[in-house]
Structure 1
Amino acid sequence: MKIDQIIGQRIEKGRRRRGLHQGQLGVEVGRSESWVGQVERGVIPLDSVSMAERLSQVLGMTVNHILAFDVRYPNAPVVAQSGRSQAASPPLSRALAPDAESYDTVLRRTFTLGSLAGLTAAFASMSPDAQAQTSRPSTVDQTLVDELRAIGASYRRSYKSFPASSLVPVAHHQIQLVSSLRPKDQPTHLRIPLLAHMAEMAALAAILLSIDLGDQEQAEAYSDLGYQVAKEIQSPELCALLLGGRAFGASYGGDPGGGLDYALAAVDAAERGASARMRAWTHAVASEMHASTNDEHGFRSSLEESRTVLSGPMDDERWGGIAWFDESKASAYEGSDLLRLGKYEEALPSLDQAIDNLGPEMLRHRCTAHIARAEAHAGAGHVDAACQDGHAALDLVAKIQHRETLRRVSELQRRLRTSKTSAARRLGEHLIDTRSALAAAGSVA
């Protein structure tokens, strides 16, 4: 049975249990009665996380059940949820059956053995002979393309607060879905947005796999796919996004010089016609890469350029990045860059400002800001304050499974334990508890 039909049946059962007719459910979630009927029959897909959340609240069902994660990924543990938003819920089950596979194992099997073949199919869907490979091209209309683009925007926004293990599978599913629609068979006005959606989902998967899950090999495969698609459709926005993501992968992988090369290429790509917010973001990425190579002048000039762009007019309808970039994020970049340069006291006001201004839903960004401020406090000799921010970072790691932050907290605690303070000991205990919980859920190698 098609996955869309399974999802539709589950929504219909949930609606009937609540005693609602299709029109009433439509009113509750802000859609038409016709839309509800088409979703329940599996005629149109439901892949939007935000819409699944709305339905889960109305129907008293989990998002994972609605989106049929148990069918898509039968060996993967599911996210426990009961009437709350997924961002506020514990990210994974804390107690798996002893013989259950870890989610990391599932990801590696599914996305290394199966999904790389799926990426090959995605390449094939763009090839000139794609028409010859299928006798009947899939039917695509503007409504479907618009729905997919809305879904993509929802998933990219979800990066702010959703765990990587929830988002990587759905991003990959979207790539497969676009591939099945044979973009090369479609007219230009539909082919380009379809491929843009594919590139955005590839970028999302690449960043999650690289920074959150620490799997550079898989991340590079998705990044390569996304960049090829971005070049295929000549999108400065997506080329800049993919190159900026590669900068982080190279730098965090131990090649800061390569990271700077990618960041400067991202700046150049953005200058060829990307949105203003994307241009601002690429300059901020360049500032971090300059700081990582100990180039203070490069860091300050790049960050100044980023803020100059942010202060001007925005064209946000063109934004194709992941999550968001604004002045609060620029402050976070500034504090982290100063930290990399060893300017601990100077970094603290910028990180204070970032944490004060980052929205409560921006869990990932708050997580990295807290660990950066913890490291700055430690460098400045403020042990208790460093531990306090370390605790805040670990609380967020437990929700979003940000492996890079977990690694940094581990290094911080090893430094602070020489102080032999009770605060450092408590941070060590919290670290062990967090690692144990995530390991039980298969989120830590």
Structure 2
Amino acid sequence: MAEIDKIIGRRIEKGRRRKGLLQHELGAVVGRSESWVSQVERGVTALDSVSMAERMARALGLPVGHVLAFDMRYTTSSAPQQTRSPGPVTEGQHGPSSGPSADTESSETVLRRSFTLGSLAGLTAAIAGLSPDARSQIRRPSGGILDQATVNELRSIGASYRRSYKSFPASSLVPVAHDQVQLVVSLRPKDQPAYLRNSLLAHLAEMAALASALQSLDLGDPGQADAYMDLGYQVAKEIESSELAALILAGRAFRASFRGDSVDGLDYALAAVDTAGRGASRRMRAWTNAVASEMYSGTGDMHGFRTCLEQARILLSGPMDDERWGGIAWFDLSKADAYEGSDLVRLGCYAEALPALDKALELLSPEMLRHRGTACISRAEAHAGAGNVEAACEDGHAALLLVAQVQHRETLRRVTALHRTLRAHKTAGTRSLGEHLIDTRTLLKTSGSAV
């Protein structure tokens, strides 16, 4: 009996009792028998799949990460360890290549060279989320061929993790994404038929992109972020996926922008737009245009910002092909409004930015915690620029509350910079914001998130 199954069982039992449900009542909600619920609560039977964990979490009113005991599975870092040579792209290099041999080596070779496969516990955790049929396929003798249903289940799990970026803490999602990368490698994609191999590698690239975003924006580890980006881009090129290549290039645009290189950021963003235009989903094309609008605003180009954002809105207004969406979280018109407001703040148009950010915060889904946090700090910056000190502090507080939930380091950095510009006013609001900043930094340090 796995110890993690006992922990999950105890959490489910506690949640059920708190809800005042009997075992047969909970079973009816999730579509299982009273006996099955009893076995799960005793740790005799594991949850069937991530989708079952999500149904259980909804029934009990608990975060799915709590139900799956992510906090207990990942007590130590399982992030990839980089070898010394050849290393990932450094901040001074241009382009997404992993090195001189990137075009000639397979993605599996690059992966094995750049990443330590890690402990058996990581693979076990990844396999535990699969259905019994898929688990039996995964544990087949070496050299066996997977079936389509198992690969489809992996892709579905990956989509669920990518959606979870909206609201899950970074320290929980990074090891999960890395474990999925490990799992794909263990399945030896090169031994699978081409149609399964490409699907497995697409799953790997999506998980690498997710881990890269989390390491860069949330946990503040650019070295690990670059390593994941290199891997994802190499795989995207190998399977000729414009969707995933555009996603990685846009991620590189953010990385360049955050280190203060707005010109490189714009170059990467325009490359992402061009790549997405060669066959990516409509939503990916819209998002890469929004990223380009942000990079244009960073260079002070009002025309470029307006043109790209308008193109993003045009794309979002047409028929969508979301079954092909390989991006992280989501992008819709409410996010386009948030991009507009944030871009206008960068351009110094504070009064014009406020209505766009008001609209974004009104329309953004409550579960999009990271996106709402970004919009809150953007509106705080707009208020500060317009001279509304107390309103800026209020939005700064709102952003910090969201940072505490999802560990978004970039938003924390921006609130810190905001407070430094406002502290000269020496109001009760600015003092309160400073105290909240200290509390949030302490909270993130105790939770293991870099600050």
User: TM-score, normalization: structure 2?
Assistant: 0.79
Counterparts of residues 41-190 of structure 1 (less than 5 Å): 46=49, 48=50, 51-56=52-57, 63=64, 67=68, 69=70, 72-73=73-74, 76=75, 106-107=76-77, 110-113=78-81, 123-124=108-109, 136-190=142-196
Change (3 A) 1:58 1:114: farther
State the AA in 1 paired with 2:447: A
Aligned to 1:131: none
Secondary structure (helix, strand or coil) at the match of 1:113 reads: coil
Aligned to 2:30: 29
- Give a deviation string over 1:227-282, Cα, whole Å, max 9, x none: 11111111111111111111111111221111111111110111000111110000
Counterparts of residues 195-214 of structure 1 (less than 5 Å): 195-214=201-220
8 Å Cα contact 1:122-1:179 kept in structure 2? no
Secondary structure (helix, strand or coil) at the match of 2:180 reads: helix
**1:25 Cα deviation from its structure 2 partner:** 6.9
Aligned to 1:339: 345
Change (3 A) 1:60 1:340: closer
Change (3 A) 1:115 1:396: farther
CA distance in 2, matches of 1:159, 1:136: 33
Change (3 A) 1:356 1:144: same
CA distance in 1, matches of 2:442, 2:4: 34
Aligned to 1:417: 423
State the AA in 1 paired with 2:165: Y
Secondary structure (helix, strand or coil) at the match of 1:261 reads: helix
- Give a deviation string over 1:83-122, Cα, whole Å, max 9, x none: xxxxxxxxxxxxxxxxxxxxxxx43xx42538999x9997
Aligned to 2:251: 245
Change (3 A) 1:56 1:338: closer
**1:313 Cα deviation from its structure 2 partner:** 1.3
**1:51 Cα deviation from its structure 2 partner:** 3.5
**1:386 Cα deviation from its structure 2 partner:** 0.5
**1:387 Cα deviation from its structure 2 partner:** 0.7
Q: RMSD over aligned Cα, in angstroms?
A: 3.4
8 Å Cα contact 2:27-2:37 kept in structure 1? yes
State the percentage of identical aligned residues: 64
State the AA in 1 paired with 2:151: V
CA distance in 2, matches of 1:441, 1:16: 25
Aligned to 2:225: 219
Match of 1:262 among 265, 268, 283: 268
**1:54 Cα deviation from its structure 2 partner:** 2.9
Change (3 A) 1:240 1:113: closer
8 Å Cα contact 1:126-1:183 kept in structure 2? no
State the AA in 2 paired with 1:123: E
CA distance in 1, matches of 2:168, 2:257: 24
The more displaced of 422-431 and 375-384 is: 422-431
Change (3 A) 1:122 1:271: closer
User: TM-score, normalization: structure 1?
Assistant: 0.80
Secondary structure (helix, strand or coil) at the match of 2:81 reads: helix
CA distance in 1, matches of 2:433, 2:223: 32
Matched, 1:386 2:392: yes
**1:16 Cα deviation from its structure 2 partner:** 9.2
Matched, 1:229 2:235: yes
8 Å Cα contact 2:107-2:238 kept in structure 1? no
Change (3 A) 1:42 1:183: farther
Aligned to 2:322: 316
8 Å Cα contact 1:7-1:42 kept in structure 2? no
Change (3 A) 1:358 1:56: closer
- Give a deviation string over 1:51-107, Cα, whole Å, max 9, x none: 32433566899855754546643xx2xxxxxxxxxxxxxxxxxxxxxxxxxxxxx43
- Give a deviation string over 1:115-144, Cα, whole Å, max 9, x none: 999x999723989xxxxxx99324411111
Secondary structure (helix, strand or coil) at the match of 1:111 reads: coil
State the AA in 2 paired with 1:191: R
CA distance in 1, matches of 2:156, 2:392: 40
**1:20 Cα deviation from its structure 2 partner:** 4.9
CA distance in 1, matches of 2:203, 2:233: 12
Question: Which runs of 5 or more residues in structure 2 are unaligned?
Answer: 17-21, 89-104, 113-139
Matched, 1:194 2:200: yes
- Give a deviation string over 1:269-321, Cα, whole Å, max 9, x none: 11000111110000000000111111111111111111111111111111111
Aligned to 2:367: 361
- Give a deviation string over 1:15-39, Cα, whole Å, max 9, x none: 8998858xx8765335799x99999
CA distance in 1, matches of 2:8, 2:314: 48
The more displaced of 5-14 and 176-185 is: 5-14
8 Å Cα contact 1:435-1:444 kept in structure 2? no
State the AA in 2 paired with 1:124: T
CA distance in 1, matches of 2:391, 2:281: 39
Question: Which runs of 5 or more residues in structure 1 are unaligned?
Answer: 77-105, 128-133
Q: Which has the higher contact order (CA 8 A, sep 6+)?
A: 1
Matched residue count = 398
CA distance in 2, matches of 1:281, 1:250: 17
Aligned to 1:426: 432
State the AA in 2 paired with 1:144: T
